[in-house]
């Protein structure tokens, strides 16, 4: 009996050693791994680069337990603001990381930028996680009226020194695009187009609104023309000094702004 019992005990010990060495369910490490659930939350990491070679990565996460306000468990206040920097805006506060309840085509996420030295600034995708391949991500430049799809490449814009808190936002859809050569905003009845024969930008003020100024920017955001003369008539802007290319025309009126992308050729 004693020999038989001893033989069985040794057999059990040997079997356990084999099971543990092969990583079977008896392995503690394997048991811990099986308890870990994959993180399927949508995450967007953006990278900002400035004229003075400053860079910043900011992160937004879609989490069903988060809100559109401040969430102390998720949001990280930016305490180390650089001379040139980019950040999420929640109210008037600056954040490097934030969580929101969901990301869909109706989501709008405000972004702030501070610029110490004038020059070219860029906003690009650093990394995406759990973002559908056909899901579009736009930088909306409110001042220029531009929607740039940053999954296709960085958005580059020429900015002068200053703080931009209400110019940029991240959105996930864009309004229907309008024609390049003519534009009519029914609310204000302003038409903007390039007259190739006259080599002029025409601003047609159909209802004699008060035009408070006109700005023309290159597609990179550089100001190439400014007129702050108030009038209620049509405007003709001579552009023979401008090179061929795309430009943004901003018309400021007493009822709002009209933004139009035109092609000068």
Q: What is the mean pLDDT of residues 234-248?
A: 88
Predicted pLDDT at 34: 53
Is pLDDT above 70 for 10? Answer: no
Predicted pLDDT at 182: 41
223 pLDDT band, cuts 50/70/90, is confident
User: What is the SS3 string spanning 171-218?
Assistant: ECCCCCCCCCCCCEECCCCEEEEEECCCCEEEEEECCCCCEEEEEEEE
Residue 190's beta-bridge partner residues? Answer: 185, 205
Domains of the chain and CATH, by start: 43-171 (no CATH), 184-264 (2.60.40.3080)
Predicted pLDDT at 9: 46
* pLDDT tens sequence across 161-200: 999 999 999 999 987 643 444 444 444 578 888 998 888 9
**Predicted TM-score (pTM) of this structure:** 0.67
Which of 16 and 136 is assigned the larger pLDDT?
Answer: 136
């Amino acid at each position: 009996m004693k020999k038989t019992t001893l033989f069985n005990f040794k057999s059990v010990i040997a079997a356990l050693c084999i099971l543990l060495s092969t990583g079977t369910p008896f392995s503690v490490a394997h048991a811990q791994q099986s308890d870990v659930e994959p993180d399927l939350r949508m995450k967007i990491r953006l990278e900002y680069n400035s004229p003075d070679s400053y860079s910043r990565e900011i992160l937004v996460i879609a989490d069903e337990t988060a809100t559109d306000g401040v969430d102390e468990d998720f949001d990280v206040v930016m305490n180390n603001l650089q001379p040139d920097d980019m950040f999420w805006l929640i109210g008037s506060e600056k954040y490097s990381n934030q969580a929101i309840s969901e990301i869909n085509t109706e989501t709008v996420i405000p972004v702030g930028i501070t610029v110490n030295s004038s020059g070219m600034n860029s906003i690009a995708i650093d990394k995406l996680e759990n973002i559908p391949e056909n899901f579009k991500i736009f930088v909306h430049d409110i001042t220029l009226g531009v929607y740039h799809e940053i999954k296709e490449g960085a958005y580059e814009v020429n900015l002068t020194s200053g703080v931009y808190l209400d110019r940029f936002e991240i959105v996930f859809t864009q309004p229907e695009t309008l024609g390049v050569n003519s534009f009519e905003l029914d609310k204000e009845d302003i038409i903007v187009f390039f007259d190739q024969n006259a080599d002029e930008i025409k601003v047609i003020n159909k209802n004699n609104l008060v035009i408070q100024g006109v700005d023309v920017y290159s597609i990179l955001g550089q100001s190439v023309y400014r007129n702050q003369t108030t009038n209620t008539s049509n405007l003709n802007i001579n552009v023979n000094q401008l090179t061929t290319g795309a430009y943004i025309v901003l018309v400021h009126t007493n009822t709002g702004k009209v933004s139009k992308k035109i092609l000068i050729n």
